[in-house]
Structure 1
Amino acid sequence: MAVWIGLTGGIGSGKSKAAAEFARLGVPLIDADAISRSLTADGGAALPAVRAAFGGALFDDTGRLKRAELRNLVFRRPEARAALEALMFPLIIDAIRVQQQHYTHARYGVIDMPLLVERPPFAALVSRILVIDVAEQTQIERVQQRSGLSADEIKRIMASQAGRLERLRAADDVVGNEGTEQALAQKIQRLHAYYQAVFPVYAE
């Protein structure tokens, strides 16, 4: 079976750009955030459990989930976040495992997982952890440029994530991303060549 790399990094680290480069190189890529969104999209498998846990007030007249209200709720109330994670994480993990089965003969694949370090159950899905690393000030500046959020708002988001040192301690591989997008792409290309060299090929 394929070796699975867990790709993670804090907000503003450039993790999504690294994931896109792996995909461009032809590496199987599973996006945990995309799976989460699909589970709570119209008709998503998680909606009945969300309604049971949080009530109908979080749904509009057409039955569509009010995502902004749910985000605000879990941001304000830690117990609501814990309840949401308890119902969502098993569904996300199951969906990832289903997707992994599509690539059993690949040399390796990447799972883009923002909460890989913060939530240990996700670690069972991967063999290695790759962290895209930048200084905290770089995170703040990049997020401000792309979103217009204040530094205090960004720091609150960062405080809800694993700290930089915690991610680095968990990492098997680290890619620094203080430079340009082109420099990041080149680093991912070199790492891809390394992974191809050290991971075995599985025959059909």
Structure 2
Amino acid sequence: MIIGLTGGIGSGKSTVASAFEALGAGFVDADHVAREIVQPGEPALALIIDHFGANFMRPDGTLDRPALRERVFQDPAQRRWLESVTHPRIRERLMARLTDLSRQAPYVLLVSPLLFESGQDALVERTLVVDVPAEIQLSRTLARDGVSEEQIHAILAAQLPREQRLAKADDVIDNSQDQAHMRRQVERLDRYYRDL
């Protein structure tokens, strides 16, 4: 069984996924795969540099992800172009990883901030939303990523609104309290997913 785990920026998706992994679940992180497919030597990187220009490449040959993020979140047409190049490649690699992991674990999590927006929810049997209020999203992301508040709001605008994400969820973890509170919810859902 594949569970799609999603949540807004700064909601704690990775922390929740790690808690499930500690209990024996497997997980694949779409963000990690998204970084892989634009590494030097990958076809997507060449297409991106051809489209946006060499100024989006760092001296070491890697993609300047912060500069590209800033550019595409200012221009929805450019963001759509980028997604048309990256999303099919991400999906293909995700499927291969999920298939491999499903042979080894009782269930597998597909961790994706854009699970619903990208159509990746079609790959899963259930959806799990990690939820926190907007003010917690903002404070955690400011502390973690060192980006501007304006850029965080642009990222939030590209994600499904909280209410819509919650309406699409089969299961929800409230990650607005301490780690122990989160782990109790993970343990309960782990038992439930194993029973399914």
- TM-score, normalising length from structure 2? 0.90
Counterpart in 1 of 2:140?
Answer: 142
Shift of 1:74: 0.7
Equivalent residue runs for 1:53-132 within 5 Å: 53-60=51-58, 62-105=60-103, 106-120=105-119, 122-132=120-130
User: What are the ranges of 5 or more consecutive residues in structure 2 without an aligned counterpart?
Assistant: none
Q: Deviations over 1:80-120 (max 9, x none)?
A: 11100001000000001111221343431101000012222
* Post-superposition CA distance 1:144-186 (Å, at most 9, x none): 4444656555333322211110101110111111210121112
**Taking structure 1 as reference, are residues 40 and 148 closer, same or farther at Cα in structure 2, changes over 3 Å only?**
closer
Q: CA contact under 8 A between 1:7 and 1:113: conserved in structure 2?
A: yes
TM-align CA RMSD: 1.9
Higher mean Cα deviation, 68-77 or 146-155?
146-155
Aligned mates of 1:91, 1:154 — CA distance in 2: 25
Pairwise CA distance, 1:46: 1.7
Among 158, 161, 165, which residue is 2:159 paired with?
A: 161
TM-score (norm 1): 0.86
Matched, 1:46 2:22: no
Distance, in Å, in 2 between the alignment partners of 1:107 and 1:77 is: 42
Give the fraction of aligned pairs with identical amino acids, expressed as a percent: 37
**Does structure 2 conserve the Cα–Cα contact (< 8 Å) formed by 1:134 and 1:178?**
yes
Alpha-carbon contact 2:142-2:149 (below 8 Å) kept: yes
Bigger Rg, which one: 1
In structure 2, what is the equivalent of residue 17 of structure 1? 15
